[in-house]
Amino acid sequence: MSKITSLILLIVFISFSTFTKAQAPLEEIAPPEIEFEDEKDSEGFLRVSIGVSSKSGNTESDSYSGRIETGTTINKTVIYGMIEGAYAESEVEDDEGNTRDERTEGRVKAVANAKQRFDGFFLFANASAMRDSLAGIDFRGIFATGVGTYLVDTDDFKFSVEAGVAYVVEEADEDDDYFALRLAERIDYNLTETTTIWESAEIIPEASDFGNFLANIEFGIEAAVNSRVSIGLLFQLEHDAEPTPEVKKKTDTTIGARITLSL
């Protein structure tokens, strides 16, 4: 069992202990879904996280990561930004199925999102940029806009769906750019006063070739330790229907744990 896996299991144990003991109100540690009040501005939030994860798929890798995220609400406009980086040690199989020597790689990703809410729906604009040397991607930018709505919108449960268009730019062994569609959904649920769970999914198919698409799925749970510190567990699935030539598999899965400080 790797050191990373051991750390994740330790945080799992601490997390379940925290679920029943923590007393901090959920509003103080809630993930990026931001509430708004008519004609009022929020103070916003700033969160810093560190984490460990184990990834399988194209590579078997253990990574250490850091994330900074911030957001605010101005009247009915919700603004969110995030940047994260990961340092990974991996083992890769060659064409004959033999494991290559361990290598060290990195991943950097930045996301910006703006959402304008109206009665019954919202407009959104997303921009993301990433570099992932493990996947052989020098740069991938996705710029999307569209419309969404909350199918359920209560204090404890939120379920939103989005549909729009996107433009994808990718620099790898073979550079590519194309227009695409974007479909997404997200669920946030307050399991207890101190614990929240969420799920999100998106699919981005090329407009002229639906067989070429990107898909991302995420499940997470977070519990408050106190008013500033929380512990979270995360599962991610990333699928690229047409990966770079050096990548053998189309799907990567990641299981991780993180500790977050709200400033």
pLDDT digits over 182-210, tens only?
A: 999 999 999 999 999 999 999 999 999 99
Q: Which of 86-90, 150-154, 167-171, 217-221 shows the lowest per-residue confidence on average (mean pLDDT)? A: 86-90
Report whether pLDDT(119) > 80. yes
Say how far apart CA 2 and CA 19 lie, in whole Å: 26
How many domains are contained in the chain?
1
Domain containing 90 equals 3-262
Q: What DSSP character marks residue 93?
A: B
Q: Mean pLDDT throughout 132-152? A: 91
Q: How confident is the model at residue 25 (pLDDT cuts 50, 70, 90)?
A: very low
pLDDT digits over 50-66, tens only?
A: 999 888 876 677 889 99
Hey, which residues does 39 pair with through a beta bridge?
Answer: none
Report whether pLDDT(41) > 60. no
Which CATH number does the domain housing residue 87 bear?
Answer: 2.40.160.40
Report whether pLDDT(24) > 70. no
Smallest CA-to-CA distance from 220 within 80, 3, 67, 58 is with 67
pLDDT of residue 22: 44
pLDDT of residue 243: 82
Say how far apart CA 3 and CA 89 lie, in whole Å: 12
Q: Mean pLDDT throughout 103-110? A: 80
Q: What tokens appear for 152 in the block? A: 């359920």
Reduced to 3 states (helix: H, G, I; strand: E, B; else coil), residue 194 is coil
pLDDT of residue 103: 58
pLDDT digits over 67-90, tens only?
A: 999 999 998 999 999 999 988 776
Number of residues assigned to the chain: 263
Report whether pLDDT(246) > 90. no
Q: Mean pLDDT throughout 211-219? A: 95
In whole angstroms, how far apart are CA 203 and each of 138, 140, 142, 162, 181? 21, 15, 12, 11, 8
